Amino acid sequence: MSKKLSGKVLAGKILVEPGASEEKTASGIIIPDSAKEKPQKGTVVLVGAAKKDEPMEVKEGDTVYYGKYSGTELNIDGTDYLLMSQSDVLYIL
């Protein structure tokens, strides 16, 4: 997990640090950068407040799975993150 961020996110939103992309296939073939898929798993680093009609079920440190095109990419202090709604999360580990 990266360093502690000083900002905050708005209600119903979470900031996720995506996991690393796969470097090679199960059979050992190395995947070039141009062919790598975006990761669909990451670690929650910031959590906004709950919305009035939607309790916040995700907490900092959770590992989550999300849709392939979920969230907005942000670069904060040289680190890439995804800002998304809690409703974009498909599964919490």
Predicted pLDDT of residue 1: 46
Residues 71 and 80: their CA atoms lie apart, in Å, by: 12
CATH of the domain at 58: 2.30.33.40
Give the residue ranges of the chain where pLDDT is below 50: 1
Predicted pLDDT of residue 76: 92
Give how many domains the chain has, as a whole number.
1
Q: Which domain holds residue 60?
A: 13-19+33-92
Residue 5 belongs to a domain = no
Residues 75 and 92: their CA atoms lie apart, in Å, by: 24
Residues 30 and 22: their CA atoms lie apart, in Å, by: 9
Residue 6 belongs to a domain = no
pTM of model > 0.85: no
